[in-house]
Amino acid sequence: MKLFYGWIIVDAAMVVTCVGFGAMFSLGVFLQPMSEAMGWSRTSISTAALLNFLCMGIGSFFWGALSDRIGTRAVVLIGGALLGLGTVMASKAPTIGQFQIYFGVIVGFAAGSLYAPLTATTTRWFTRHRSLAVALVSAGLGLGSTTTAPLARWIITNHDWRTAMLVIGDLAWLVIIPAALLVREPPAPAPGGLREAMVDAAGRELTAAQALRTPQFAAIAFTYFACCAAHSGPIFHMVTHAIDHGVSAMAAATVLSAAGLASLSGKIMCGLVADRVGAKRVLVTGLALQAVAISLYLVTRELAHFYAVALMFGFAYGGVMPLYAILVREYFGARIMGTTFGAVGFASTLGMALGPLAGGLLYDTSGSYAWLFIASCGIGLGAVAIVFTFRPPRSLPAALPAPSAAH
């Protein structure tokens, strides 16, 4: 039986997102050792994470639109080379300002070339198993946290933070660039093949500019923003929060890995369920579970409890992440998927940028992360409320699916 090439795309995308986002998300592990070694405040280091997500948002929109024009393979190749460069340069930065530029701006902008374009391409390869395929691509993000955090912590313990960041940057070059060469666009549909797109009241197919002005785009974007604003702070400060309560540095890093592993299972399970009951229902449940898990950090003190909450929290935030791509595909179709999902991704990264900086500021001013968890829980409940405003998509299907897309 011939292997459907769409699954090769999924495998390559998982590897790319694992290494690329593992490099970026590992900054939380570097927070304490960098602060102690360099004398930089947690707020100033957290600002690099703020820049990460702001620039990744701009990059998601830019790279997503570019992938619709020149193809995802070229975009990922360029982005992977740039991400490795930024990480390697950040490992040598003598000042916090230079570190913020290299790791915050360059790495963040480069990371925008990975998830949105690869997800958009994946949705074009699949019809029947689309939610599962997108969930597996998104699972690369969870694998990144699971593998990179302990690796970085081990190298920091045996060497220093600069060596650890240099190794991670080199890995980005060695893995992302070869994996990107496997990426290709799906065959063009045969005449009479399936083509889906959002239409207006007159039945006309919407352009990307028109789609970005629709109420449904705003609803999805605001939900994604609130979802990410809710979980970004707790994720970024998870390791340091555990250390502050007496957990060893290595054990605290494995707590983050546990959350990443749980997010991996959440993505796959929620993807399978979404293929059966629909993305919206799963999204509501996942967002509610995420808000509850965040609130539990207010009463978590022991290592075993940190693991338990991390598993619940990771499952929730991981499970909801692939669903936004499915919703964008359902509402706006495949033709402008790179642009529309890149724009939604931009909104999400604004939310991701908010949490790390807010957590750093709240800790530096109050000496506690309690207000971070309270605010994050409230924002998470707001995301649940926004989902209930979603209306059924009005799409324009044509004929039957082409054979290559019916997987």
144 neighbors 175 (Cβ within 8 angstroms): no
pLDDT at residue 275, rounded to an integer: 80
pLDDT at residue 188, rounded to an integer: 65
pLDDT at residue 377, rounded to an integer: 94
Question: Where do the H-state alpha helices sit in 92-129?
Answer: 96-99, 108-111, 115-125
Could you tell me the mean pLDDT of each successive run of 10 residues in the chain, 407 residues long? 82 91 84 84 82 84 83 91 94 91 93 87 81 82 76 88 91 92 77 49 62 86 93 87 86 84 85 83 93 93 91 92 84 76 82 81 85 93 91 54 46
**What's the rounded Cα separation, in Å, for the pair 363 and 378?**
18
What ranges make up the beta strands (E) of 110-242?
A: none
Architecture field, domain 7-184+194-392 = Up-down Bundle (1.20)
262 neighbors 310 (Cβ within 8 angstroms): yes
Q: CB neighbours (10 Å) of residue 188?
A: 9
Task: Give me the phi and psi of 198, to 5 degrees please.
Answer: -75, 145
Of the candidates 15, 253, 42, the residue with the CA atom closest to the CA atom of residue 152 = 253
DSSP tag of 405: G
CA distances 32 to 29, 39, 206, Å, are 7, 10, 49
Give the domain ranges of the chain.
Answer: 7-184+194-392
Of the candidates 393, 360, 403, the residue with the CA atom closest to the CA atom of residue 41 = 360
* 94 residue type, one letter: P
pLDDT at residue 26, rounded to an integer: 82
Any idea which residue has 């001013």 for tokens? 365
Output the pTM of the full model.
0.71
Give 199's strand partners.
Answer: 205
Sign, CA dihedral 299-301-306-310, equals: positive
